[in-house]
Amino acid sequence: MKRSNLFLLIGVIAAAVVIFLNFDSSNIKTSQLSEAGGELKIYNWSDYIAEDTISNFEAETGIIVTYDMYDSNEVLEAKMLAGSSGYDLVVPTADFLARGREAGAYQDMDLSRIQNASNQDPEIQAQADRMVGSNSAGLVYMWGSTGIAYNEDMVAERLGDDAPTDSWSLILDPANAAKLEDCGIAILDAPTDVLPNVMTYLGHPGTSMEKSHFEAAGDALSAIRPYLRYINSSQSINDIANGDICAAIMWSGDAFQAAYRAEEAENGHVIDYYIPNEGTNLWFDVMAIPADAKNVDNAYKFVDYMMRADVAAANVNYVWYASGNEAARPDIDPEILSHPGIYPTEKAKEKLFVTPVYDAQTDRIVTRVWNRFSAGN
């Protein structure tokens, strides 16, 4: 053998040894799991699932999960309507699911493939089905209300003991908003949740689709715009827990997550949440399968897993939202079940409403009004 060939052979052997020694055995495991269980791509709301739910599902099934998050229905809708979303399971709110189905963005769900579908609360599911216009669009994951979260001490310092901590006026009255400006006010970046409630505060039906009512709501929001710290759907959870803001229009579960984080941190901030006495909207977030999903079988496996009573209860106990799963109730923290801000009282239910699915014309009005308000015009 020529000397040059010998050196070449030695080099090849050395390279092979280096590759072998540096080979990550986890790659074998990942490959084996992928072959055994395949993959699943999920797109869900931020801060909306227990910390170990995904890892437990992967361990049980061998399915590799990619889990991405969004913080508004508008972001999800844009991705779904653009096509080729790349996701196998998403969690739109019912009215957005209805619009997406009309556009062909979602496929029907075959409930016969979901053994644990019988765990669902029939009343909650029926309300969502009526809103979507189908009983095969998907299964309710969580439901809740939109209301006001506030820091008890900070608000009392500025508005006194008679602060209207039962009304939308705490934030929507410019006189109150001006007094709370220094400690920080935030509003959800969610026009279909905020505008109907402002209309309710103004004495109009929250279910109205009248242009003048939306414009009146926009004017009311513009009146407090100078006093707002920001308009965002996820930032306020940590900010109000840390005392960086003192009042916010929030979704129920987010408010209670903030209260829990403040309590855990022992930072002296006490956060409370209420459903305003003028009324508020009731919403339903639904597990649904996109029309272009590539891993449909695994999507069904995940939905079935999420519908297990123990899994549903663990998620509720972590995110503090009301569950669509009736069978989970025995395992849900009694503090959650008994809190009227999470599971409303019968009296509060009398003033709850479900936002209608807006047609294209109404949707353009909502977008225009909201953009004008958020831009500060």
Express each pLDDT in 210-253 by its tens digit: 999 999 999 999 999 999 999 999 999 999 999 999 999 999 99
For the chain, percent of residues with pLDDT exceeding 90: 87
- The CA distances from residue 93 to 42, 132, 285, 286, 345, in Å, are 15, 9, 4, 6, 23
Give the closest residue to 299 by CA, choosing from 130, 121, 66, 99: 66
**136-192 per-position pLDDT tens digit:** 999 999 999 999 999 999 999 999 999 999 999 999 999 999 999 999 999 999 999
Domain edges within the chain: 1-29, 30-141+284-331, 145-282+356-374
Residue 2 has pLDDT above 50, yes or no: no
Query: Of 80-84, 184-188, 345-349, where does mean pLDDT reach its minimum?
Result: 345-349
Please tell me the predicted confidence (pLDDT) of residue 37.
82
Q: How confident is the model at residue 348 (pLDDT cuts 50, 70, 90)?
A: confident
CATH of 145-282+356-374, one of 3.20.20.370, 1.10.1040.10, 3.40.47.10, 3.40.190.10: 3.40.190.10
Mean residue pLDDT of the chain comes to 91
Evaluate if residue 304 carries a pLDDT over 50: yes
Domain 30-141+284-331 part of CATH 3.40.50.970: no
pLDDT score of 32? 46
Distance CA 132, CA 250 (A): 23
Asked if residue 366 has pLDDT above 90, the reply is: yes
pTM above 0.75, yes or no: yes
Query: For position 35, what pLDDT does the model report?
Result: 54
In this prediction, residue 29 has a pLDDT band, given cuts at 50, 70 and 90, of very low
Residues whose CB is less than 8 angstroms from the CB of residue 103 and which lie 6 or more positions away in sequence, other chains included: 81
d(CA 48, CA 306): 13
| Residues sharing a CB contact under 8 Å with residue 247, sequence separation 6 or more, in sequence order | 148, 149, 150, 151, 154, 155, 170, 171, 180, 183, 184, 185, 186, 240
pLDDT over threshold 80, residue 36 = no
- pLDDT of 307 > 60? The answer is yes
The pLDDT-based confidence of 347 (bands split at 50, 70, 90) is confident
- The token duo for 15 is 């390279």
Which one is predicted more confidently, 2 or 357?
357
pLDDT digits (tens, 9 = 90+) for 47-73: 999 999 999 999 999 999 999 999 999
What residues have CB less than 8 Å from 205, skipping those under 6 apart? 199, 213, 353
Q: Same topology for domains 30-141+284-331 and 145-282+356-374, yes or no? A: yes
pLDDT of residue 21 exceeding 90: no
For residue 214, what pLDDT is reported?
98
Tally the C-alpha atoms within 13 A of residue 351's C-alpha that lie toward its C-beta: 17
Q: How confident is the model at residue 254 (pLDDT cuts 50, 70, 90)?
A: very high
For the cut 90, the answer to whether the pLDDT of residue 31 exceeds it is no
335: left (phi over 0), alpha (psi -120 to 50) or beta: alpha
Q: Enumerate the β-bridge partners of residue 224.
A: none
Span 91-107, average pLDDT:
96
